[in-house]
């Protein structure tokens, strides 16, 4: 266990950030899965910008890598256009 006051604070902060990041990453993953399972083009086209926005926010905050966000956006766009 850490003994320095600053180290204890760092542990508290990193735990809070971990929980926060985990929530948003999981929420986005669920949205991506939901979009992939849609078969209605109109509904999918309506949901796509929201999911892309979520991915961009995760990439901006370094929760996921920029390239991963780009690959996901590309594959989701292809999926929606193929419906």
The domain segmentation of the chain, as residue ranges, is 40-83
In tens, the pLDDT along 8-22 reads 999 999 999 999 999
Dist CA 56 CA 30 (whole Å)? 15
Q: How confident is the model at residue 61 (pLDDT cuts 50, 70, 90)?
A: very high
How does pLDDT run across 28-59, given as a tens digit for each residue? 999 999 999 999 999 999 999 999 999 999 99
The pLDDT score that the predictor gives to residue 2 is 84
């Amino acid at each position: 266990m850490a003994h320095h006051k600053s180290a204890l604070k760092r542990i508290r902060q990193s735990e809070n950030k971990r929980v926060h990041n985990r929530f948003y990453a999981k929420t986005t993953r669920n949205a991506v899965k939901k979009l992939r399972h849609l078969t209605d083009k109109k509904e999918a086209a309506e949901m796509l910008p929201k999911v892309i926005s979520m991915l961009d926010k995760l990439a901006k905050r370094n929760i996921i890598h920029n390239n991963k966000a780009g690959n996901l956006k590309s594959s989701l766009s292809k999926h929606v256009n193929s419906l």
